[in-house]
Amino acid sequence: MRIAPGAWALCFAAAASLLASEYLHWQASRRYLPVGPESRSSTGPEIVLVLGYPSRTASLHPMQKWRSDIAARSIDRQHGQLLFSGGTRRGTRC
């Protein structure tokens, strides 16, 4: 089975644009993060709020893992605290 040269070019262009967008997203997500602990502007504890997301099964939903990973990456490990909020459920209180 031969693949047309145009299909290869289209696959290459799609992969290149995906990699470029991921690189730009990575660069933008770290643009305003402090360089080190000495660059912190406040002296109090840092609290990062992790928003909840309803899980339909007993396992961890990918959105919950994604939000937790972002919070763990964003927090100062020595002075920070994580605050997890609950996810709403249909027909019941949070």
Place 11 in a pLDDT band, splitting at 50, 70 and 90.
Answer: very high
Q: Classify residue 84 by burial, with Cβ atoms within 10 Å: 0-12, 13-18, 19+.
A: middle
Q: Give the pLDDT confidence score for residue 10 in this predicted structure.
A: 92
Prediction pTM value: 0.47
pLDDT in tens, 22-65: 999 988 887 776 666 555 556 667 888 998 887 777 788 888 89
Domain segments of the chain as ranges: 1-32, 37-94
Place 15 in a pLDDT band, splitting at 50, 70 and 90.
Answer: very high
